[in-house]
């Protein structure tokens, strides 16, 4: 019941932004068959009357006051940047929607 | 392609609108961290591990942002959810440091509201109800600067430079349900809705609502259906609509574009379009080969928001009067003509005029000071009226001094100028500049006699009962007394002097 | 000196018998001697550690009031950020990154005067049970260098077992503190979720991750627990309540009238004979010490592993999205004309190891529209059922117990190509993370068949962490009087031990 085609795996890799070689895709496709069958067991007991738990603690309303605290210095902020220019992070050309 | 007129479109189709408005809240600190939100700071000076998404950093919700969002929901007649949650919206984009946006998905904080807007129609003013689907919280992205290429636009750029000062600024998204039944007034309704929203948000004090700075942004969804059909057409989503006028133009433009496609037997593509301020047209965004799958799931780093009823009721009790209703009430109370009312709203002086009136000033006088002399001085100095060093208190005092005859209009203008120049309160300006009305009848009579002998012909006309001629003499007397005389008293004495009392 | 407990070292420091600089140097020397074989450390911060030690010594000589562990050295798992010190999470993608801030745990350690020796090896982004998934090579189990030290926190556990540090910090998402403790003969505690701040802990699975103390004795673990635990306003999931009195519990070690629930489902088939034998013997010792042993059932635990391998990958697929070559870490493929998208794709291909990619893709799938309800949604329901099982069981007992792992340490490479077999290592530890409760592993002997250490797991309800320390201390004392010397004295000498 739970199987993924190689194309499905390639599409997941695209969504997850990971380039993958053909070899890697082949390996993962076969591993996924096994793993998905194992994890699909959750469906045996996950009936509609069972509420979902997304968090182990039943906390609500944890807020902070609207107070400004010192930021990093721009030097610290940019300290790990692979490339920077004019106190900004320099990144390769963006082929996306115009923001 | 045939060039359709707007009337051609309306003859065949009915527009259906949907509007999504993003509002940046004016909190001091960001949505999930303590970085400042001040506009225009040096790049990357308002960033920290949280808003840069450094490994290990965690978000904590800004309480003020929650409060502001609830206020917005209440002002838009929404129900406030007793339990709502943040969710992660997953997609990769360099301006979004975590590569997911913390937003709300199936459990937004406010749902099911409405806003009524009024527009002028051929049949007179008509009200339209815009139903609100949801109001939810999220965070803004960073800003990219595209370098290289010719246009400074993203396409053709060699690389981009990112500033994350804006990343994480609290954002509220207000989404309408579909708005049918606006007919040919769809563009005006869309504009009126955004304008009403802007006024409401401003009255709540939760946002700067500056469309030009991006603190209020509108996406307009437009589709057409054949008149009489109940099948919705394919919609386009127009982004980048950065002024009220553009909202109207974008909707109108999209209606015509859709109609042209449909008339030519083509299909409208469901896509994002970008509004072009210069042409008023929209341009297709880069279409993606595959639809984005955002893989929403509850944000595990945050706990649910469950505002208690008492908090909500306290906020509800403190809601300001709805701006459109207040405007109507004030216009009636002050008997202001429509044009003047519009002028006050445009100049953004309604609040200060009301304040001045509440301090006892006559509404007409208060209005004419703020809209006239004070606006003129603000223009001259190229600053906003609110930035001038004159208060409602000062103006109320000046109006009262004029009413009591302590100041003439001309002197009052000097006082206003002095207050704005930072010379102190009206009383201080009057004292330091030595401004006072000449109400010594003896001095006035001397001036009147002097003027009457200099302009004996005019004086004779008055003596012979031609009263309008008195104006010129009064003017001359005022000039003689350097404007420090009370014009009414001068007229009284002059007419008596010339036997016309 | 380096074989003493942290409590003993602290005493020597307090009495002036030794200095923190001397103690720190002794550990740095041990690292030089043995870490070539063990490879517990990814980065040794000799200079920083000695400076910190000198500061503690100076403060002590000025007569300042110091914390109970001031001057004692510690090994920090490389998944916690320390300002200016390389932090890789065992991944190539973060190679060379020096964080500009401290994790709250690190701040707490520094404030307590605990000396940080360096960063320890781990499975990449804490994904694994053997430390074989580190991009920087595996860590070796000091008991048998051909075997795994457990994972993901194999480096921290091995450092303790090889006497390279008396204290260590681990993180536990599905057993990454307890399973390494079990297979190295050391003690490790996963506190109640929310008991220790996650701020500065590089997230693997946010709703499961928890940092915790590791040491060679229950008391040392408790002392470290109290140093790092407590409310942190920078972590929204941090519990705003007093820290459980774990040191007092560890000192007392009293189990009289306590009910100890043996989990029926976490024993039997699939558990190595020697593991079961040592576990049963430990139960007898606890009974002798005055505890009442009862059996409890947790029927839904059998679904825990499946749920875990949906929840953890789902959250990690989102948590690890930030490693995109734009703001920090390595950047691959940034040639002329390359797009940001292709640089992200290539960097993530090269920067992430096989297990990390596997889990990111699995999580991406489990969250994708159309499959969410069947996978992630169902897993969340299982989480509810597991929590209910714990709640029901805790009505019948004060703590629950089980073997920590089904087997002793396996050979390096043995399970590397069988992800499902590898995942089974965590079968007994995962339920604790799912419910957010506390869990401890302490050594309960070696398996007769292979002479390798066996771990005994104790689970306590939310914010009742002191209970597992009481039981752990009682069992430790009983075992010690049997053995006559700590279990680690049975471990082979690595040639460098003093």
pLDDT digits over B386-440, tens only?
889 999 999 999 999 988 888 888 889 999 999 999 999 999 999 898 887 776 7
- Mutant choice from A32, A42, A43, A90 vs C, greatest count of C C-beta within 10 A: A42
Instruction: Compute the average pLDDT of residues C114-135.
Output: 98
Q: Which of B157-171, C248-262, C415-429 has the lowest mean pLDDT?
A: C415-429
- In this structure, is residue B316 part of a structural domain? no
Do B234 and B90 lie in one domain? The reply is yes
- Give CA separation, B489 vs B255, B440, B444, in Å: 65, 10, 9
Do the beta carbons of residue C38 and residue C120 sit within 8 Å?
no
Instruction: Compute the average pLDDT of residues C360-378.
Output: 95
What whole-number distance in Å separates Cα of residue C439 and Cα of residue C401?
A: 9
Residues from C contacting B (CB-CB < 8 Å) are: 80-81, 87, 89, 94, 97, 99-101, 103, 198-203, 205-207, 233-237, 314-315, 317-318, 321-324, 326-328, 340-341, 344, 364, 367-369, 372, 376
Long-range contacts, stretch B118-123, CB < 8 angstroms, 24+ apart: B118/B192, B118/B324, B119/B185, B119/B188, B119/B189, B119/B192, B120/B188, B121/B185
Q: Which of B119-133, B450-464, C92-106 has the lowest mean pLDDT?
A: B450-464
Do the beta carbons of residue B133 and residue B110 sit within 8 Å?
no
Tell whether the model's pLDDT for residue C94 goes beyond 90.
yes
- Mutant choice from B32, B43, B58 vs C, greatest count of C C-beta within 10 A: B58
Q: Which of C465, C488, C404 is closest to C166 using CA atoms?
A: C488
Closest chain A residue to C99, measured at CA = A80
pLDDT of residue B465: 86
* B433 contact A CB<8A: no
More confident residue, C379 or B500: C379
pLDDT of residue B150: 61
User: Residue C444, SS3?
Assistant: strand
pLDDT of residue B154: 67
Count of structural domains, chain B: 3
Do B377 and B295 lie in one domain? The reply is no
More confident residue, B211 or C35: C35
Tell me the shortest Cα–Cα distance from A68 to chain C, in angstroms.
Answer: 14
Q: Which residues contact C117 (CB under 8 A, 6 or more apart)?
A: C24, C27, C28, C31, C41, C44, C45, C49, C73, C74, C75, C76, C164, C165
Of B280, B311, B342, at which residue does a domain stop?
B311
pLDDT of residue B297: 97
Instruction: Compute the average pLDDT of residues C234-253.
Output: 97
Catalytic residue among C20, C91, C134, C152: C152
Do the beta carbons of residue C236 and residue B61 sit within 8 Å?
yes
Tell me the shortest Cα–Cα distance from A13 to chain B, in angstroms.
Answer: 13
Do B234 and B95 lie in one domain? The reply is yes
pLDDT of residue C480: 97
- According to DSSP, the residues that pair with B145 across neighbouring strands are B161
Backbone angles phi, psi at C139, to 5 degrees: -95, 150
| Contact criterion met (CB < 8 Å) for C361 and A13 | yes
* A74 contact B CB<8A: yes
Which residues of chain B make contact with C91, given a CB cutoff of 8 A? none
The alpha-helical segments, DSSP class H, found in C20-138 are: 20-38, 46-61, 104-111
Percent of chain B with pLDDT over 70: 97
Q: Which of C51, C264, C283, C77 is closest to C170 using CA atoms?
A: C77
From the number of C-beta atoms within 10 Å of its C-beta (0-12, 13-18, 19+), residue C61 rates as exposed
| Contact criterion met (CB < 8 Å) for A82 and C337 | no
Backbone angles phi, psi at C217, to 5 degrees: -130, 160
Token pair in block for residue B123: 């049949």
- According to DSSP, the residues that pair with C211 across neighbouring strands are C171
| Contact criterion met (CB < 8 Å) for A16 and C361 | yes
The model's pLDDT over B239-273, given as tens digits with 9 standing for 90+, comes to: 979 899 999 999 999 999 999 999 999 999 988 89
Do B335 and B202 lie in one domain? The reply is no
Do B94 and B226 lie in one domain? The reply is yes
Do the beta carbons of residue C222 and residue C252 sit within 8 Å?
no
pLDDT of residue A98: 46
* A72 contact B CB<8A: yes
Which residues of chain B make contact with A8, given a CB cutoff of 8 A? none
The model's pLDDT over A23-60, given as tens digits with 9 standing for 90+, comes to: 999 999 999 999 999 999 999 999 999 999 988 888 99
Do B248 and B326 lie in one domain? The reply is no
- In this structure, is residue B260 part of a structural domain? yes
Tell whether the model's pLDDT for residue B288 goes beyond 60.
no
Whole-number CA gyration radius for chain C: 21
Instruction: Compute the average pLDDT of residues C285-296.
Output: 98
| Contact criterion met (CB < 8 Å) for C419 and A46 | no
Do the beta carbons of residue C150 and residue C184 sit within 8 Å?
yes
- In this structure, is residue B467 part of a structural domain? yes
Q: Which residues contact C371 (CB under 8 A, 6 or more apart)?
A: C365
pLDDT of residue C258: 97
Do the beta carbons of residue C409 and residue C147 sit within 8 Å?
yes
Provide the mean pLDDT of chain B: 91
Q: What is the DSSP string of B312-357?
A: HHHHHHTPPPPHHHHHHHHHHHHT--HHHHHHHHHTT-HHHHHHHH
Count interface pairs A-B at CB distance under 8 A. Answer: 143
Tell whether the model's pLDDT for residue B126 goes beyond 50.
yes
Instruction: Compute the average pLDDT of residues C99-110.
Output: 98
Q: Where are the domains of chain A?
A: 6-45
Token pair in block for residue C95: 């190679």
The partner residue sitting opposite A46, judged by closest CB among C358, C381, C387, is: C381
C402 catalytic? Reply is no
Q: Are strands B170-176 and B13-24 parallel, antiparallel or unpaired?
A: antiparallel
Tell whether the model's pLDDT for residue C191 goes beyond 80.
yes
What whole-number distance in Å separates Cα of residue C327 and Cα of residue C312?
A: 25
| Contact criterion met (CB < 8 Å) for B43 and A86 | yes
Do B254 and B338 lie in one domain? The reply is no
Length of chain A counted residue by residue: 99
Q: What is the DSSP string of C365-426?
A: HHHSTTTTIIIIIHHHHHHHHHHHHHHHHHTT-SEEEEESSSSSPPBTTSSTT-HHHHHGGG
Do the beta carbons of residue A61 and residue B305 sit within 8 Å?
yes
Residue C363 exposure: Cα atoms within 13 Å on the Cβ side: 25
Tell whether the model's pLDDT for residue A96 goes beyond 80.
no
Residue C428 exposure: Cα atoms within 13 Å on the Cβ side: 32
pLDDT of residue B290: 56
pLDDT band at B285 (very low <50, low <70, confident <90, very high): confident
| Contact criterion met (CB < 8 Å) for B158 and A93 | yes
C396 catalytic? Reply is no
The model's pLDDT over C384-428, given as tens digits with 9 standing for 90+, comes to: 999 999 999 999 999 999 999 999 999 999 998 888 888 999 999
| Contact criterion met (CB < 8 Å) for A66 and B64 | yes
What element of type H or E holds B103? strand B100-103
Instruction: Compute the average pLDDT of residues C288-293.
Output: 98
What whole-number distance in Å separates Cα of residue B134 and Cα of residue B88?
A: 17
C152 catalytic? Reply is yes
Token pair in block for residue B64: 């003020």
CA dihedral B244, B247, B248, B251 (to 10 degrees): 180
The model's pLDDT over B456-491, given as tens digits with 9 standing for 90+, comes to: 888 888 888 888 888 888 888 888 887 778 888 888
Q: Are strands B272-275 and B236-241 parallel, antiparallel or unpaired?
A: parallel
Do the beta carbons of residue C127 and residue C79 sit within 8 Å?
no
Do the beta carbons of residue C188 and residue C196 sit within 8 Å?
no
Backbone angles phi, psi at B115, to 5 degrees: -135, 135
Question: Which chains does B contact via 3+ CB–CB distances below 8 A?
Answer: A, C
pLDDT of residue C497: 43
Catalytic residue among C129, C156, C176, C197: C176
What whole-number distance in Å separates Cα of residue B436 and Cα of residue B438?
A: 6
- Give CA separation, B407 vs B397, B415, B435, B455, B477, in Å: 11, 9, 8, 27, 16
Order across the sheet with B87-90: list the strands.
B100-103, B87-90, B297-298
Length of chain B counted residue by residue: 501
pLDDT of residue C414: 94
Of B380, B398, B433, at which residue does a domain stop?
B433
Q: Which of B334, B21, B407, B420 is closest to B207 using CA atoms?
A: B21
- Give CA separation, B230 vs B14, B102, B189, B224, in Å: 10, 36, 21, 11
| Contact criterion met (CB < 8 Å) for C101 and B303 | no
| ipTM exceeding the 0.85 mark | yes
Do B388 and B480 lie in one domain? The reply is no
Q: What is the CATH T-level fold of the domain C6-302+383-490, as seen in this structure?
A: Amidase signature (AS) enzymes (3.90.1300)
Do B306 and B369 lie in one domain? The reply is no
Do the beta carbons of residue C399 and residue C458 sit within 8 Å?
yes
pLDDT of residue C46: 98
pLDDT band at C215 (very low <50, low <70, confident <90, very high): very high
Question: Which chains does A contact via 3+ CB–CB distances below 8 A?
Answer: B, C
pLDDT of residue B153: 64
Q: What is the DSSP string of C299-340?
A: GGGGGHHHHHHHHHHHHHHHHGGG-SSSSSS------TT-BH
Max Cα separation, chain A? 56
CB environment C181-206: b (16+ within 10 A), e (fewer): bbbbbbbbbbbbbbbbbbbbbbbbbb
Do B213 and B70 lie in one domain? The reply is yes
6-35 in A: which are within 8 Å (CB) of B? Answer: 11, 14-15, 17
pLDDT of residue C417: 86
What whole-number distance in Å separates Cα of residue B171 and Cα of residue B214?
A: 11
Instruction: Compute the average pLDDT of residues B17-45.
Output: 97
Instruction: Compute the average pLDDT of residues C93-101.
Output: 98
User: Residue C169, SS3?
Assistant: strand
Do B366 and B463 lie in one domain? The reply is no
What whole-number distance in Å separates Cα of residue A78 and Cα of residue A88?
A: 8
pLDDT of residue C493: 83
- Whether omega before C329 lies within 30 degrees of 0, making that bond cis, reads no
Q: What is the CATH number of the domain that holds B486?
A: 1.10.10
What whole-number distance in Å separates Cα of residue B67 and Cα of residue A87?
A: 34
User: What is the span of the domain harbouring residue B451?
Assistant: 441-497
Instruction: Compute the average pLDDT of residues B149-172.
Output: 85
Percent of chain A with pLDDT over 70: 94
pLDDT of residue C495: 62
The model's pLDDT over B73-108, given as tens digits with 9 standing for 90+, comes to: 999 999 999 999 999 999 999 999 999 999 999 999
The partner residue sitting opposite A89, judged by closest CB among B154, B162, B300, is: B162
Do B414 and B300 lie in one domain? The reply is no
pLDDT band at B284 (very low <50, low <70, confident <90, very high): confident
pLDDT of residue B2: 54
Number of Cβ within 10 Å of residue B365's Cβ equals 20
pLDDT band at A2 (very low <50, low <70, confident <90, very high): low
pLDDT of residue A69: 97
Tell whether the model's pLDDT for residue C135 goes beyond 50.
yes
pLDDT of residue C496: 46
What element of type H or E holds B172? strand B170-176
Residue indicated by tokens 């969410």: C372
| Contact criterion met (CB < 8 Å) for B154 and A55 | no
Q: Where are the domains of chain C?
A: 6-302+383-490
Order across the sheet with B110-121: list the strands.
B79-80, B110-121, B124-139, B170-176, B13-24, B216-226, B236-241, B272-275, B282-284
- Mutant choice from A8, A12, A17 vs C, greatest count of C C-beta within 10 A: A17
| Contact criterion met (CB < 8 Å) for B306 and A61 | yes
Token pair in block for residue C203: 């997230």
Do the beta carbons of residue C152 and residue C312 sit within 8 Å?
no
The partner residue sitting opposite A95, judged by closest CB among C339, C375, C434, is: C339
| Contact criterion met (CB < 8 Å) for A35 and C309 | yes
| Contact criterion met (CB < 8 Å) for C98 and A89 | no
pLDDT of residue C194: 98
Tell me the shortest Cα–Cα distance from A74 to chain C, in angstroms.
Answer: 11
pLDDT of residue B498: 87
């Amino acid at each position: 019941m739970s199987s993924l085609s190689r194309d499905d795996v390639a599409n997941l890799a695209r969504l997850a932004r990971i380039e993958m070689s053909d070899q890697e895709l082949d390996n993962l496709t076969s591993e996924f068959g096994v793993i998905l069958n194992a994890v699909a067991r959750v469906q045996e007991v996950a009936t509609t009357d069972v509420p979902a738990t997304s968090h182990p603690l039943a906390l609500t309303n944890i807020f902070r006051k609207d107070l400004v605290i010192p930021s990093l210095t721009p030097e610290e902020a940019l300290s790990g940047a692979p490339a920077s220019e004019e106190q900004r992070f320099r990144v390769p050309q963006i082929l996306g929607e115009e923001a | 392609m045939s060039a359709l007129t707007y009337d051609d479109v309306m003859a065949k189709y009915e527009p259906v609108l949907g509007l999504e408005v993003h509002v940046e809240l004016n909190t001091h600190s960001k949505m999930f961290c303590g970085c400042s939100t001040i506009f225009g700071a040096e790049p990357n000076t308002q960033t920290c591990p949280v808003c840069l998404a450094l490994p290990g950093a965690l978000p904590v919700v800004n309480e003020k942002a929650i409060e502001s969002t609830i206020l917005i929901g209440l002002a838009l007649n929404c129900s406030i959810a007793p339990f709502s949650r943040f969710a992660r919206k997953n997609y990769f984009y360099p301006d979004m440091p975590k590569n997911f946006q913390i937003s709300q998905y199936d459990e937004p904080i406010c749902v099911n509201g409405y806003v009524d807007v009024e527009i002028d129609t051929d049949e007179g003013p008509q009200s339209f109800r815009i139903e609100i689907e949801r109001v939810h919280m999220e965070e803004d992205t960073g800003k990219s600067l595209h370098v290289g290429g010719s246009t400074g636009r993203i396409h053709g750029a060699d690389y981009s430079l990112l500033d994350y000062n804006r990343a994480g600024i609290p954002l509220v998204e207000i989404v309408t349900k579909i708005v049918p039944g606006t007919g040919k007034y769809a563009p005006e309704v869309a504009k009126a809705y955004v304008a009403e929203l802007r006024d409401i948000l401003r009255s709540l004090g939760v946002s700067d609502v500056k469309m030009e700075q991006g603190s209020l942004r509108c996406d307009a969804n437009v589709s057409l259906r054949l008149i009489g059909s109940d099948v919705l057409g394919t919609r386009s989503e127009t982004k980048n609509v950065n002024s009220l006028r553009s909202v109207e133009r974008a909707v109108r433009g999209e209606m015509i574009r859709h109609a042209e496609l449909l008339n030519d037997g083509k299909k409208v593509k469901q896509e994002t379009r970008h509004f072009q301020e210069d042409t008023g047209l929209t341009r297709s965004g880069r279409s993606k080969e595959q639809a984005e799958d955002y893989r929403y799931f509850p944000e595990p780093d945050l706990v649910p928001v469950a505002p208690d009823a008492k908090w909500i009721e306290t906020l509800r009790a403190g809601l300001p009067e709805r701006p459109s209703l207040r405007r109507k009430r004030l216009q009636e109370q002050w008997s202001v003509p429509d044009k003047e009312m519009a002028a006050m709203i445009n100049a953004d002086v309604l609040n200060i005029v009301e304040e001045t009136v509440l301090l006892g000033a006559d509404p007409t006088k208060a209005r004419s000071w703020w809209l006239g002399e004070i606006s003129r001085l603000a223009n001259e100095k190229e600053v906003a009226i609110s930035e001038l060093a004159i208060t409602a208190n000062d103006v109320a005092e000046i109006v009262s001094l004029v009413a009591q005859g302590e100041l003439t209009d001309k002197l009052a203008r000097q006082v206003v100028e002095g207050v704005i120049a930072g010379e102190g309160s009206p009383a201080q300006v009057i004292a330091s500049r030595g401004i006072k009305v000449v109400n010594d009848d003896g001095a006035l009579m001397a001036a009147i006699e002097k003027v009457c002998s200099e302009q004996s012909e005019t004086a004779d006309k008055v003596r012979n009962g031609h009263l309008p001629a008195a104006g010129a003499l009064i003017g001359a007397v005022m000039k003689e007394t350097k404007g420090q005389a009370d014009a009414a008293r001068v007229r009284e004495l002059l007419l008596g002097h010339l036997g016309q009392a | 000196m380096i074989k003493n407990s942290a409590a003993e070292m602290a005493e020597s420091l307090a009495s002036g018998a030794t200095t923190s600089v001397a103690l720190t140097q002794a550990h740095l020397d041990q690292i030089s001697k043995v870490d070539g074989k063990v490879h517990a450390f990814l980065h040794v911060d000799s200079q920083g550690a000695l400076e910190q030690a000198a500061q503690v010594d100076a403060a002590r000589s000025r007569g300042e009031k110091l914390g109970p562990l001031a001057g004692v050295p510690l090994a920090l798992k490389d998944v916690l950020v320390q300002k200016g010190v390389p932090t890789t999470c065992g991944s190539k993608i973060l190679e060379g990154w020096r964080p500009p801030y401290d994790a709250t745990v690190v701040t707490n350690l520094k404030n307590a005067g605990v000396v940080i020796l360096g960063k320890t090896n781990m499975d990449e982004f804490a994904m694994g049970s053997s430390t074989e998934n580190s991009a920087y090579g595996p860590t070796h189990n000091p008991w048998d260098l051909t075997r795994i030290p457990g994972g993901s926190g194999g480096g921290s556990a091995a450092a303790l077992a090889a006497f390279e540090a008396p204290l260590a910090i681990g993180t536990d998402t599905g057993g990454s503190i307890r399973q390494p403790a079990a297979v190295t003969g050391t003690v490790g505690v996963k506190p109640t979720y929310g008991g220790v701040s996650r701020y500065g802990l590089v997230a693997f699975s946010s709703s499961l991750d928890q940092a915790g103390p590791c040491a060679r004795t229950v008391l040392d673990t408790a002392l470290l627990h109290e140093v790092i635990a407590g409310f942190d306003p920078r972590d929204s999931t941090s519990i705003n309540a007093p820290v459980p009195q774990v040191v007092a519990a560890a000192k007392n070690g009293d189990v009289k009238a306590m009910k100890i629930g043996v989990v029926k489902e976490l024993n039997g088939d699939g558990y190595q004979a020697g593991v079961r034998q040592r576990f049963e013997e430990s139960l007898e010792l606890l009974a002798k010490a005055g505890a009442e042993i009862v059996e409890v059932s947790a029927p839904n635990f059998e679904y825990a592993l499946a749920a875990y391998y949906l929840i953890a990958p789902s959250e990690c697929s989102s948590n690890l999205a930030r490693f995109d070559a734009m703001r920090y870490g390595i950047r691959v493929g940034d040639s002329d004309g390359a797009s940001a998208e292709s640089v992200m794709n290539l960097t993530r291909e090269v920067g992430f190891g096989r297990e990390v990619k596997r889990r990111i893709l699995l999580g991406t799938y489990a969250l994708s529209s159309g499959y969410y309800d069947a996978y992630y949604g169902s897993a969340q329901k299982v989480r509810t059922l597991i929590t209910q099982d714990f709640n029901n069981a805790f009505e019948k007992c004060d703590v629950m117990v089980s073997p920590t792992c089904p087997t002793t340490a396996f050979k390096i490479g043995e399970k590397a190509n069988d992800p499902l077999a590898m995942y089974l290592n965590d079968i007994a530890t995962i339920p604790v993370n799912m419910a957010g409760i506390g869990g401890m592993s302490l050594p309960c002997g070696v398996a007769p068949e292979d002479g390798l250490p066996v771990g005994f797991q104790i689970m306590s309800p939310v914010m009742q962490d002191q209970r597992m320390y009481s039981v752990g201390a009682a069992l430790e004392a009983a075992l010690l009087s049997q053995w006559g010397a700590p279990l680690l004295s049975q471990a082979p000498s690595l040639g460098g031990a003093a």
